[in-house]
A and B are shown apart, each in its own frame.
Chain A
Amino acid sequence: MLSFILKRLLLTLPVFFIVVSGTFLLMRLAPGSPFGAERKLSPENEARLQQRFHIDGTLGQQFAAYWKSLGRGDLGDSLKYRNRTVSEIIGQTLPNSALLGLGALLLALGIGVVAGSYSAVHHNTARDRVTLLLALAGICLPSFVLAPLLILLLALLIPLLPAAGWGTPGHYILPMLCLGLPYGAYCTRLVRTSMLDVLNQDYIRTARAKGVSEPSVVFRHALRVACLPLISYAGPLAANILTGSMIVEAIFKIPGLGAFFVNAVINRDVFLVGGCVIVYFTLLVFLNLLGDILMALLDRRIRLW
């Protein structure tokens, strides 16, 4: 396993370089200036600011300057939020996004496994169809629709939870639901399908014939293999949750990284975008690696190393 991990990390380094460079180049190629405003900045001022932030000169020079500062461990300054460094912004907002994202991820995965297996086990009965319909509702109700509905019901009409904000456990519930439930629906569908597949396999029939109890069949034998697609999906799922968190963060006024990220792209805040991409990339790589290892552990047949 160690050599597998090492091989993976080896390739990750050039990928990191490509991703960060690609993002930087895209951001600098995109039309518009980071300093555009309703009140136009004079060309001299624009030039001075570009100089100050090392985004003057040719694209190659800017590129080199950026990598030089990355090499020092300096993620740069925000162009829009002056006198804040990118590390500072990420440091303050990432924990909030991470907490929210983690909760949503666990919720989605949990719902997926439980509802998916339940539905598969009761295939073609009313319970199966109801679960399917609920899953469909979850898919059709993305977070930006679910959020105002839940806020209306649970925060405004019945003042149970806060309508927005962050800080107490109460603030955590609605955003987590809004972010996690739609993906829970996706996971349910995935698990259900693969569970149905697995339950029809020969070795499961053998186990049943041998007298193994049904719960044991489902949980000990079938679930392990049925979860494989879900594990493959977990990496992209986390990535989606992080980018999807922007809407939830805006609606619930959560001081997270998602909102900063999207606004940074729109404001051409190149270093902030770079910092966010580095964070997301690291997370993605880690989750994909973890997912692969988990897959190989769960299904002994898989040979990754």
Chain B
Amino acid sequence: MVTSQNNKTILFCLLVLGLVVLLAAVGPHYSAYDQKATSGEQFSPPSSAHWFGTDVHGRDLLTRVLSGARISLLVGATGALVSLVVGVLYGLISGYAGGWLDNLMMRFVEILYSLPRLIVVIVLISLFDQQAKTWMQHHGLAAWVPESRLLLLFAGLGLVEWLTMARVVRGQVLSLRERAFVQAARSMGQTPALILLKHLLPNLLPLILVYLTLTVPSVILEESFLSFLGLGVQAPYASWGTLLSDGAEMINPLQIHWWLLLAPASFMALTLLAFNFLGDALRDRIGR
């Protein structure tokens, strides 16, 4: 297959992603502006002073996008991790077991799906805000997560992000387990755990990978929805999701401050593009 091009793609994508993470981690330090610093230059378009322009408070957009990257990347990583670890495992077990266990496990998924996410997060915040604050101070996370409520938001999102992955993996396993090679392994007396890990998982990898690349944007946008309702990122901090929604509000026929949408959208698009192509290249590599 086109291995060398594959490798180049993988390397390139990793590079881009690494760059984004680096920018998110240290970019705001090196910026001339504090992401909270308001100024009189409202809504100025991109210029040499402000590469991505300014917003309604005169804050530098580039700095805000980079600071927002921290939260969005964290949210995305959390969603991806939970999806990967919990979702895949759950789906594997449910699909392979079949019968009553599958029924039971999928019904539990339905329960978590049906409970309104919004109220879960509201209750989580009201019940555990204090504990979350102390936990955060203990672990010194303040630089990356500006406040304790975000932690609870992650928890709330994490609770549901694995559900779809579980369902999709389960569907695939239902099909795969009837295949010849699985039957053969079973007749050879291999334990279910071994079958799952050695035979099924590799076949599921393409699907898992592509689904991961879909989970990340989905959870970033979910966070933006909750922030929009007042539960997530707090002013004056931002995330890509909130910057996107703020930018989208600016689109109207009278005056368009296009840079407010372009900045977060392009960073998000770049990251997701790299992520997606990486996933594809990995899939090509691992696949037959």
* Alpha-carbon separation in the docked complex, A273 to B117 (Å): 12
Contacting residues, chain A, for B26 (C-beta < 8 A) = none
Closest to B248 in A: A145
What B residues does A27 contact at CB under 8 A? 119
Among B98, B123, B213, B225, contact of A29 (Cβ-Cβ < 8 Å): B123
| Contact yes or no, A232 B167, CB < 8 A | yes
B207 at the interface (CB under 8 A from A): yes
With both beta carbons as reference points, the residue of chain B lying nearest to A7 in the complex is identified as: B103
Would you call A149 and B221 a contact (CB within 8 A)?
no
CB of A193 closer than 8 Å to a CB of B: yes
Which residues in chain B, 202-261, are within 8 Å of chain A measured between CB atoms? 206-207, 209-211, 213-214, 217-218, 221, 224-225, 229, 244-245, 247-249, 251-253, 256, 261
Once bound together, how far apart are the Cα atoms of A140 and B76, in whole Å?
Answer: 14
Q: Which residues between 142 and 169 of chain A lie within 8 Å of chain B, taking CB atoms?
A: 142, 144-145, 147-149, 152, 156-157
B287 near A236 with CB under 8 A, answer: no
In angstroms, Cα B211 to Cα A194, docked, is 11
Closest to B225 in A: A247
> Which B residue's beta carbon lies closest to that of A149?
B251
Contact A31 B126 (CB under 8 A): yes
In the complex, chain B residues whose CB is within 8 Å of the CB of A302: 174-175, 178
Given A189-B213, A285-B110, residue A200 in contact with residue B119 (CB < 8 A)? no
B283 interfacial contact with A, CB 8 Å: yes
With A148-B249, A236-B167, A301-B179 in contact, do A266 and B98 touch (Cβ < 8 Å)? no
Q: How far is the CB of A158 from chain B (nearest CB, A)?
A: 11
How far, in whole Å, are A142 and B243 apart by their CA atoms in the complex? 13
Q: Is A255 an interface residue (CB 8 A)?
A: no
User: A30 contacts which of B123, B221, B261 (Cβ < 8 Å)?
Assistant: B123
Contact A193 B110 (CB under 8 A): no
- Indicate if the CB atoms of B114 and A194 lie closer than 8 Å: no
Return the contact of A141 from the options B110, B119, B265 (Cβ within 8 A). B265
Question: Do residues A190 and B210 form an inter-chain contact, with CB atoms below 8 A?
Answer: yes
Give every chain A residue within 8 A of B120 (Cβ-Cβ).
Answer: 26
Assess whether B207 is in contact with A273, with CB atoms less than 8 Å apart: no
* Complex interface: chain A residues within 8 A of B100 (CB): 7
Which of A144, A280, A303 has the most chain B CB atoms inside 10 A of its CB? Answer: A144
Within 8 A of A (CB), among B77-92: none
Q: Which of B10-18, B32-40, B61-69, B268-276 contacts A (4 or more CB under 8 A)?
A: B268-276
Identify A26's interface contact among B115, B170, B214, B268, CB under 8 A: B115
Does B248 contact A23, Cβ atoms closer than 8 Å? no
A213 near B: Cβ within 8 Å? no
How many chain B residues touch A (Cβ–Cβ < 8 Å)? 65
Q: Which residues of B contact A273 (CB under 8 A)?
A: 116, 119
Bound-state CA distance A235–B107 (Å) is: 13
The answer to whether residues A233 and B179 also contact, given A8-B103, A186-B214 and a CB cut-off of 8 A, is no
Tell me whether B2 and A281 are in contact (CB under 8 A).
Answer: no
Q: Mark A171-200, 1 if CB is under 8 A from B, else 0.
A: 000000000000000100110111011001
Encoded as 1 (CB less than 8 Å from any B CB) or 0, chain A from 89 to 131 comes to 0000000000000000000000000000000000010000000
Instruction: Identify which of A156, A190, A239 contacts B211 (C-beta below 8 A).
Output: A190
Residue A19 CB within 8 A of the other chain: yes
A137 within 8 A of B: yes
Residues of B with C-beta under 8 A to A70: none
Interface residues of A: mostly helix, strand, loop or mixed?
helix
Q: Contacts A11-B103, A200-B288, A284-B114 known; A228 to B172 CB distance under 8 Å?
A: yes
User: With the chains together, A22 CA to B172 CA distance in Å?
Assistant: 30
Asked if B114 and A30 sit within 8 Å, CB to CB, the answer is no
**Chain B residue at minimum C-beta to C-beta distance from A295:** B171
Chain A min CB distance to B265 (Å) = 6
Chain A residues with Cβ under 8 A from B127's Cβ?
A: 29
B122 interface residue per 8 A CB criterion: yes
User: Does B193 sit within 8 A of A, measured CB to CB?
Assistant: no
How many Å lie between the Cα of A231 and that of B106 in the bound state? Answer: 15
Q: Are A26 and B210 in contact (CB under 8 A)?
A: no
With A145-B244, A239-B113: A30-B122 Cβ-Cβ less than 8 Å: yes
Q: Which of B179, B252, B280 has the most CB of A within 10 A?
A: B280
Residue A55 is within 8 A (CB to CB) of chain B in the complex:
no
Chain A: CB-nearest residue to B210: A193
Measured between beta carbons, the chain B residues less than 8 angstroms from A22 are 111, 115
Sampled A-B contacts (13; CB under 8 Å): A19-B115, A23-B114, A23-B115, A141-B265, A145-B244, A148-B249, A148-B252, A156-B253, A190-B211, A262-B118, A277-B116, A284-B113, A288-B110
Beyond known contacts A190-B210, A265-B119: 17 more, CB 8 A cutoff: A11-B104, A11-B107, A12-B107, A19-B115, A22-B115, A31-B122, A136-B273, A140-B265, A148-B251, A186-B214, A190-B211, A197-B287, A280-B114, A284-B110, A295-B171, A295-B174, A301-B178
The 4 A-B pairs with the shortest beta carbon distances in the complex, nearest first, are: A232-B171, A148-B251, A301-B178, A193-B210
Binding site for B on A (CB under 8 A): 7-8, 11-12, 15, 18-19, 22-23, 26-27, 29-31, 124, 132-133, 136-137, 139-142, 144-145, 147-149, 152, 156-157, 186, 189-190, 192-194, 196-197, 200, 225, 228-229, 231-233, 235-236, 239, 243, 247, 261-262, 265-266, 273, 276-277, 280-281, 284-285, 288, 291, 295, 299, 301-304
